Amino acid sequence: MWRSLLLRGSTCFLQVGAPKFPHQRLLFSLRFTPKSYFKPAPAMFMVPLSLPAHLRICRTYKKDTKSSGEFPISPITVTDIKHYLRSKDINFHDGYSCLHIPSIFVDSALRKDSFSLFIDKTTGRFLCTDTLVEGSWEDLQDCLEVMQKDDQDALNPSVLLGYPESEEEQEERDRELKEVQRVWSSSVPLTDVTEEEAQLIKTMFQITKITNATLKKFGVRLFKPTKSLVFPWFGGPDCSLKGVKLISAQITDNDKVTYNEATVPRISTYYNLFGFSLVGRKDTEVVLTGSELDTLAVSQATGLPCVSLPRGVSCLPPILLPYLEQFKRVTLWLGADIRSWESSKIFSRKLGLRRCSLVRPGEFRPCPIEALAEGKNLSRIISTSIPAAHKSIVSFKQLREDVYGELLNKDQVAGVKWTRFPELNRILKGHRKGELTVFTGPTGSGKTTFISELALDLSMQGVNTLWGSFEINNVRLAKIMLTQFAMQRLEDNLEQYDYWADKFEELPLYFMTFHGQQNIKTVLDTMQHAVYLYDINHVIIDNLQFMMGQENLTVDKFAVQDHIIAAFRKFATNSSCHVTLIIHPRKEEDDRELQTASIFGSAKASQEADNVLILQEKKLVTCPGRRSLQVTKNRFDGDVGIFPLDFIKSSLTFSAPVKGKHKFKKPTKSETDDLPGPDAALKKDEVKKEKVSKTTKTKTATASENNQK
């Protein structure tokens, strides 16, 4: 387990906490109870979601001084790294994602021709796989300067391993190591349980085709108190036990099996490439899967080296890239759905496109564990994987399977659904990667508050989110989101603060530390680093006008705005990341609703955007329902519409009114083109009066008829 955080002192983010990825599986850490917004499903074995007492670890609040850092003034490039290494007469190999150099932490007599120190080409971070020493590019430069000054051939690893820890950090580390040993010693191999119980466990996890020999080979055990499978993490030069992952099975109401996962240490420091301890030094090919069960299936059926990602398909931590450098061919078989396919394409960029091949999801290519259960030929499926690198021109023959996949998985293609805004799902269908959303609304209408809840909704579903708030500071923004998360005013319930703060920390949510006017290049560099380090899927920029103060391209402010919007559009497409851009509108009359043309600047914003959302507000009305959300552009399927919003001040949330109070409608073309001016308002009042008079006459006529009878 590495002592320093990834990119310590060189990033420009604030992380809320250990990222959780509740897609497909319900994940939780041993340090926390399950999230309240997950409903436990009835299970054939009622596996308790609350772990036994000896697995529960109490958390005490502490301020993480390492959670923030300053972005480097001049981000390092691979060209700069190579130039520096040449200036120091250091030999290096140009790898796929890292540069390899001889380790300076190993004695020169033992070093031989081993290039065991890896330098990340993107961030400059280094890792010595022989000693587990790791640090920033600046740390490595300091070490090399000291060696040159003192005329040394090697440095003691304790130079960088000796970072002082606080007493609380040391206690937490010791507590986690004890928990690892306790869980491991309390679990038993499946060969030590009765044949009937072993078959029952295999049925629970749908691994009846996995042999006991395979389970023994990978060291898989059974933790009886919770009927959980235990997957070990062996690592380090001595291949010692560093952690464990427990997986328990549940069956949902629709007879689908879901898995609850728990890790020791916590998921943010759990860097286990399960199966890597069985990989030989001379192996040049590996299969990368999204789960430990898939790794068992591939290894048994094909005999190929196979490892699984520690956090599923949601994230490929850059700290693991050095361990994958030895392979000339990497086959990514992460799952059988659209999300796994998208992650495969993103991860292949980190690993190097030229050596990666992807198993395309399809009817005859399910996930490995299902393919094994169905008796399919896994070796043939892997051999038919397609190269990740592609030419600039393709034919429909090459796109045919992708088109079929989108038709077959239309709900997944539509994106992640909102849970707090079901009406928005009916229009936009979902939140999709690679799109640009432009959001506007009158000053003071609650744009930031609404978007924060919209982003919070997605983050609670595992969408890795990066906030760029240039208008309000991060403390105030985090306070708003925490209030929305708890659905109550915590000022009045301070005794509940730690409870909700602990849960809020679990969200995969990050903040840029910028505030006020910023240069577009610096912001884009930060966003790019966030995508690389944390696999960010959603970036919010609040707001565009604050981006324009530092630009000196031209005196024409509209040309500057067009340049910035084009840059965000390119970033969203190339990074497969959704960008939500808040833009202030032009000044309009209080009695006129905003429209697409009301967005400040030229038509570039609405042209480049995939979605245009407008927060409408009737300023002259004080009754509930005076706010509404209008979608005026939807490139995905063309649907547009408007629905009312109610603002709940106590929780700072917007929610759709009760059904029947308002009717959802999609405006016609004439309605969207015509502005509802004063004349239109008068006509509406006249129509209402006519309806009231007709109703009164009807009641009077009915009453007179009853009297006559």
**Nearest 5 degrees, angle CA 343-CA 348-CA 354?**
155
Within 8 A by CB and 6+ apart from 640, the residues are 427, 630, 631, 632, 633, 634, 666, 667, 672
In this predicted structure, the answer to whether residue 246 has a pLDDT above a threshold of 50 is: yes
The predicted pLDDT at position 166 comes to 73
Q: Give CA–CA dist 441/454, Å, rounded.
A: 15
Q: Give CA–CA dist 591/98, Å, rounded.
A: 59
User: What band does 663 get if pLDDT is binned at 50, 70 and 90?
Assistant: very low
The predicted pLDDT at position 669 comes to 44
The predicted pLDDT at position 55 comes to 38
Output the CA torsion sign for 534, 539, 543, 546.
Answer: positive
- Site of tokens 């190339």: 574
At residue 698, φ and ψ (nearest 5 deg) are -65, -45
In this predicted structure, the answer to whether residue 646 has a pLDDT above a threshold of 60 is: yes
- For β-strands 26-27 and 257-264, DSSP reports them as parallel
Judging by beta carbons within 10 Å of its beta carbon (0-12, 13-18, 19+), is residue 394 exposed, middle or buried? exposed
Q: Give CA–CA dist 247/228, Å, rounded.
A: 5
At residue 613, φ and ψ (nearest 5 deg) are -115, 135
Mean pLDDT of 399-413: 83
The predicted pLDDT at position 362 comes to 79
- For β-strands 93-94 and 98-101, DSSP reports them as antiparallel
Condensed to tens digits (0 to 9), the pLDDT of residues 540-596 reads 998 888 767 655 555 677 888 888 999 999 999 999 999 999 998 887 777 788 888
3-state secondary structure of 459: helix
DSSP per-residue letters across 662-677: B--B---HHHHHS---
Q: Give CA–CA dist 293/373, Å, rounded.
A: 12
What percentage of residues in the chain have a pLDDT greater than 90? 48
Q: Give CA–CA dist 645/665, Å, rounded.
A: 14
In this predicted structure, the answer to whether residue 45 has a pLDDT above a threshold of 50 is: no
Q: How far is CA 691 from CA 444, 491, 704, in A?
A: 35, 47, 20
Mean pLDDT of 163-182: 83
Q: Is the CB of residue 545 less than 8 Å from the CB of residue 473? A: no
Q: Is the CB of residue 298 less than 8 Å from the CB of residue 287? A: yes
Q: Give CA–CA dist 339/412, Å, rounded.
A: 7
Q: Give CA–CA dist 350/97, Å, rounded.
A: 7
Condensed to tens digits (0 to 9), the pLDDT of residues 416-428 reads 999 999 999 999 9
At residue 686, φ and ψ (nearest 5 deg) are -65, -40
Condensed to tens digits (0 to 9), the pLDDT of residues 25-38 reads 333 333 333 333 33
Dihedral angle over CA of 162, 163, 166, 167, nearest 10: -10
Number of separate helices (H) and strands (E) present in the chain: 22, 26
Q: Give CA–CA dist 449/483, Å, rounded.
A: 11
Q: Considering only residues 260 and 663, tell me which one the structure prediction assigns the higher pLDDT.
A: 260
Q: Considering only residues 315 and 21, tell me which one the structure prediction assigns the higher pLDDT.
A: 315
What H or E segment, with its residue span, contains residue 512? strand 509-512
Which of 386-395, 424-433, 643-652 has the weakest average pLDDT? 386-395
HSE, side-chain direction, 13 A CA sphere, residue 33: 12
| Number of neighbours of residue 398 by Cβ within 10 angstroms | 12
Q: Give CA–CA dist 170/614, Å, rounded.
A: 50
Q: Give CA–CA dist 438/542, Å, rounded.
A: 11
Q: Give CA–CA dist 342/290, Å, rounded.
A: 13
Q: Considering only residues 352 and 545, tell me which one the structure prediction assigns the higher pLDDT.
A: 352
In this predicted structure, the answer to whether residue 696 has a pLDDT above a threshold of 60 is: no
Q: Which of 275, 261, 288, 284 is nearest to 350 (CA)?
A: 288
Residue type, 23: H
| Number of neighbours of residue 312 by Cβ within 10 angstroms | 23
Mean pLDDT of 130-150: 90
What percentage of residues in the chain have a pLDDT greater than 70? 78
Residue type, 238: D
pTM to 2 decimal places: 0.72
At residue 194, φ and ψ (nearest 5 deg) are -65, 155
Q: Is the CB of residue 560 less than 8 Å from the CB of residue 578? A: no
Q: Which of 25, 683, 1, 87 is nearest to 340 (CA)?
A: 25
HSE, side-chain direction, 13 A CA sphere, residue 563: 16
| Number of neighbours of residue 332 by Cβ within 10 angstroms | 27
Q: Give CA–CA dist 441/430, Å, rounded.
A: 21
Q: Is the CB of residue 667 less than 8 Å from the CB of residue 641? A: yes
The predicted pLDDT at position 682 comes to 43
- Site of tokens 């939500």: 580
